[in-house]
Chain A
């Protein structure tokens, strides 16, 4: 599995977040009409997914990777689903685990309270459209699927219910998607006083259960850095929102790339990918 678990496992970070439940929904069931999507179609989705970016894009990538996998191995999800019997489900799918910590120059209670109000999460988690709290434990999460792409727009919304499974006021929140999620996921975030009045250390760990079929090393290698970058940027945005009161942006600023009167400088979500090579 991915090496990102090492810190937690080696005890450097004292965290053992719960795994997402393998509810079966992390398995993609390919319907009759989709049986004929070829390796080519999968490859296209993979490419589009990577270009689209964000959570929707990653799911496209995953789906594309799956189709390539199916096409290449001859594995047919349809026959699998026809014989579906939960007692037969043998292997649990792989869990991707991503950890990130940052120090926020604010008191612990304030940092905790902002995160604990889960409806705040979409303010800094770029892949989330909304979170609605049903009650103190249960919430409904809707992921953002990028609207910049035709194929992505045609996809159904990615959404799930989650529950808080453990919580210590001002120090720890653990949550998990409930069975039935499009993408099984879980997470833990810890709040610790930083030494010398430096504010609050936030240690977050997010886990995703990759859709079944996404077992190829190549696909995991593709997904993991992208997800890792996403979580890292989300935590950074959380810090910025709390400390600076806003998240710095270039979206909408002028440049010679846009002629006066035409659409403003377009979104720059692809900056991560555009960039290759040495930076300074």
Chain B
């Protein structure tokens, strides 16, 4: 973590540029250790998994020894509730409002997915939801395809950052959209947070080296044999990549500038 290089998002200053998730763990009780090892300060949670008291439950209690997921999230972490399950803008907006009403704060990660085969986000509906929620005072982080036009639409709609996917969600395939992410980093004034598909710390490091503001990693940590050690690896990799970007990589001599030609094309100028 680098206190001299804060990541300011939604008016909040963060020292870690790794965001983590809460899904797919063998036990929610792993979350505190994962969070600590990763150094992360932001954690996303699906509203569909968040317990809320049933209004007419007659005092129904969780199953014995089954505290809700929220009880495992360290108090110092900033919650990033997400709208998993929403298939259009209206549903995403409803879930965001529910999250705020449930005390999860004003940050919201917009997920609008109406294709359960590939789980690719719907850019048009995402931008619509972003506009509505930004006007309501949310800090909106839309999960999008690595698409410049969608990113711009979300920026115009009031997003605090954009979260392009590196590869289809859950695949651990790495930065398959690297070229497009590079364009977003180059073109967007908003922070670019690479979300989905990152499978290894080296890939997170690469995203940060490119100039991504942060990475969100869930499956790669949760599905590791040792999630805590993997979380630490990701935390270190993200920091290393960030440091590399700050340092400015040295010039890489490419093929065109490689060997000195014995008969240079511009020799006639001598």
> Does B associate with A?
no
Binding site for A on B (CB under 8 A): none
Residues of A within 8 A of B (CB): none
